[in-house]
Amino acid sequence: MTRCPVIPVLVIQDLSLARPIAQALVAGGLTTLEVTLRTDCAIEAIKEMSKVEGAHVGAGTVLNGDDLARAVDAGSQFIVSPGLTQEVATAAQRHDVPLLPGVANAGDIMRGLDLGLSRFKFFPAMANGGLPALKALAAVFGKVRFCPTGGITEGNAAEWLAHPAVSCVGGSWLTAGNFDADAVESRARQAAALANCA
C-alpha cells in the first residue's frame, strides 16, 4: 500500500495487451498492479505482467480459496478481494500472501480486526458514502489504514490521499477506453506525481 499509493485495477480482456499495459504503467511510475480475476485470461495475464521489470503484480476480485490458490500459483504477490470472508482470509494466511480485503462498514472492519487484519480496501468507496463515510470510520478505528476503490478518479484521488487513514487508492481509470500505450503512460505519470510514488 505504501510502495506506490495509486494501484491500477486492471480488467484484461486481451492477453496480448497484458505486457504492453504493464510496461506503460511501470514506465509512468505505477509499479503495483492489480489484475482482476474477472476475465478468462486473467491468470495468464498475471504471469505475463510479472515478467515486466519493476512490476509488482497481484490479483483482484479474489472471491474464494480456489481463486486465491490459482492467483498465488500464477505468481501474484498480493491478493485483493471485494469483501471479507473467513475462507479468503484463511487461505491468504495458509499461502503466506498479503491480503487486502474489502470492507464497507464498521462490522466488516471488526471482523477483519478479529482475523488479525488492519489494512482494508474501502469498497465501493464513492457509493458507500465517499470521503465523509471513510472519515467517520477512520475516527473510530485509529490504527486501520484504507485503500478506497470504486469511483476513484484522477479528479478526486488527491483528496482521498490527503486523509491520513488512506495509504493508497485503487481504480480502473488509468486504463479506461481502448488501449493506447502513450495515453496509459501519461495517465500513470500524472497519478504517480499525485501520490508521490518513488
Q: What is the 3-state secondary structure (H, E, C) of the chain?
A: CCCCCEEEEECCCCHHHHHHHHHHHHHCCCCEEEEECCCCCHHHHHHHHHCCCCCEEEEECCCCHHHHHHHHHCCCCCEEECCCCHHHHHHHHHHCCCEEEEECCHHHHHHHHHCCCCEEEECCCCCCCHHHHHHHHHHHCCCCEEEEECCCCCCCHHHHHCCCCECCEEECHHHCCCCCHHHHHHHHHHHHHHCCCC
For residue 139, give every residue at least 6 positions away whose Cβ sits within 8 Å of its Cβ, in sequence order, or none. none
Question: Residue 6 Cβ, how far from ligand ELE at the closest point, in Å?
Answer: 11
Least distance from ligand ELE to the Cβ atom of residue 185, Å = 19
Q: Which residue has the cell 510514488?
A: 197
Nearer to ligand ELE, 24 or 143 (CB): 24
Nearest distance, CB of residue 59 and ligand ELE, angstroms: 9
- Beta carbon nearer to ligand ELE, 139 or 178: 178
Catalytic residues: 34, 121
Q: Which residues bind ligand ELE (CB under 6 A)?
A: 9, 36, 60-61, 80-82, 149-152, 170-173
Least Cβ distance, residue 88 to ligand ELE (angstroms): 11
Could you give the CA distance from residue 126 to residue 4 in angstroms, rounded to a whole number?
21
